[in-house]
Amino acid sequence: MALKKIHETPVGTKCAVRIYRNYEYNEYVVKAIVNGKVEGGKDGGSFETDKADAYGTARAVADWLRKRPVCKSGLAAPRRRKRR
């Protein structure tokens, strides 16, 4: 099974959501990566036949990952100082 990565969304510093294209089966695979390991069991992802569905699933997985303590970024944007 040859997968070609077509999109990656980083979530925090240790997590990411990746979308792969599988030309053999004409489908898209959405995978959640936490600490460099694929989450989701043996197959490791969600299989979609439509590109728009794959991007929608990736957005939902990214929202789910943002709630996990491992994926929360310790680096926040610097606060702006108020002008006097």
Number of folded domains in the chain? 1
Higher pLDDT, 73 or 32: 32
| Residue 21 domain flag | yes
28, 48 Cβ separation under 8 angstroms = yes
What's the pLDDT tens digit per position in 10-61? 988 889 999 999 999 999 999 999 988 898 776 778 899 999 999 999 999 9
**Residue 82 belongs to some domain of the structure:** no
Tokens of 82: 């108020």
- 71 in a structural domain: no
Q: What is the structure's pLDDT at 59?
A: 94
Does any domain span residue 78? Answer: no
Q: What is the pTM of this model?
A: 0.79
Please tell me the distance from the alpha carbon of residue 56 to that of residue 44, in angstroms, as a whole number.
Answer: 17
Residue 51 domain-assigned? yes
Distance separating alpha carbons of residues 19 and 77, to the nearest angstrom: 27
pLDDT of residue 44: 76
- Which residue range(s) make up the domain with 36? 3-66
Q: Which element (helix H / strand E) includes 64? A: helix 51-66
Mean pLDDT (whole number) for 68-81 = 66
